[in-house]
Amino acid sequence: MTTTEAGTGVETGRPQGLSLLALNNAFSSGLGEMIEQAQASVVQVRRGDRGAGTGVIWQTNGGIITNHHVIAHTGSKTLVELRDGRVLEAQIVDSDPTLDLALLKVPSDHLTAIPVADSTKLRVGELVFAIGHPWGQRGVVTAGIVSALSKVKLRNSNRQLEYIKSDVRLAPGNSGGPLINEQGHVIGINAMIMGGDLSVAIPSTVVSTWIAQLPQARITLGVQIQPTELPSDIRQELANEQTLGLLVVGIIEGGRAEHANLLVGDVLIDIENTALSDAATLREVLAQSSSKETVHLRVLRGGKVQEIEVTLHTREQAA
């Protein structure tokens, strides 16, 4: 039996309770699916035959991020066990003990890279999840909220380290694993426990920026560019305040731009919906997109705006 609240026409009672239950069930089911998808990108990093920590597939071509302290002073081979059970020997591409980051490379392609979120948009109070292998237990998930966003200045340096603090539960073996948001996108790399209870993660934007600065891992389009003014009719079409684009004045042979059929004379307007008016913005977006297989450019060619897809990581084809 149901009742109607006077003057509102809104039914109250059991049907509303059932609707709330259905909503909770849908939320729980969606959360479980999101976690399952994220776990496909989480690996175990081993020092020799024993578990040492966690890693996350950052690039489809075998690039894996973990903590520096996970792979430091190994004295033996660094091995990575994928979700499907394969165990691969990893090459240490580079590491930074100050940031506590390391980039590994395994000899495999078309891996499932985790989507990367912009950690600068993170707010205190947001729900987050940690995935890792505490005490050797595979794929353990814990949940919490963002407690604080902090910056720590290094001694004798102007350099600052950024951290995300949360109350997700971490233990030995979680190091190097992802801190993800409600969409299943990584917003940090779990690193340590601070003050006995708060967990600390390195923001995803710090990771992307660090990767972009590595000569071995830097992603470029393979173009020579210079700023140029956009025609007035194109400005009106874009319906924003963008006045400049990037004129392509040279194409590097064999680069991504050549493979995407970019041409000298094209004007780059935006990349992944981010307006392009200087080379620094282009480099920054490419760094943040390092885990993606492709990015989308809008270019001005022959007086018309076109969309061009650029491949960042090529999948190997079987012979």
Tokens of 261: 């059929």
Specify the pLDDT at position 39.
94
Specify the CATH class of 223-311 in words: mainly beta
| Residue % of the chain over a pLDDT of 90 | 47
Active site residues: 69, 100, 175
pTM: 0.66
Specify the pLDDT at position 64.
96
Tokens of 302: 């022959």
The beta strands (E) that lie in 205-266 are given as: 223-229, 244-251
Please give the CATH superfamily to which domain 119-212 belongs: Trypsin-like serine proteases (2.40.10.10)
HSE-up (13 A, CA, CB side) for residue 284: 12
Q: What is the pLDDT of residues 9-27, one digit of tens each?
A: 444 445 555 577 776 776 6
Domain boundaries, the chain: 119-212, 223-311
Check residue 65 and report its DSSP letter.
E
Quote the CA–CA distance of 228 and 215 in Å, as a whole number.
Answer: 28
- In the predicted model, residues of the chain with pLDDT beneath 50 are 1-13, 315-319
8-15, Cβ contacts within 8 angstroms, sequence gap of 24 or more: none
Quote the CA–CA distance of 192 and 194 in Å, as a whole number.
Answer: 6
Specify the pLDDT at position 17.
54
Specify the pLDDT at position 270.
93
Given the structure tokens 């190097």, which residue do they identify? 176
Q: Which residues are CB-contacts of 117 (< 8 A; sequence separation ≥ 6)?
A: 181, 183, 185, 186, 187, 204
Quote the CA–CA distance of 260 and 308 in Å, as a whole number.
Answer: 7
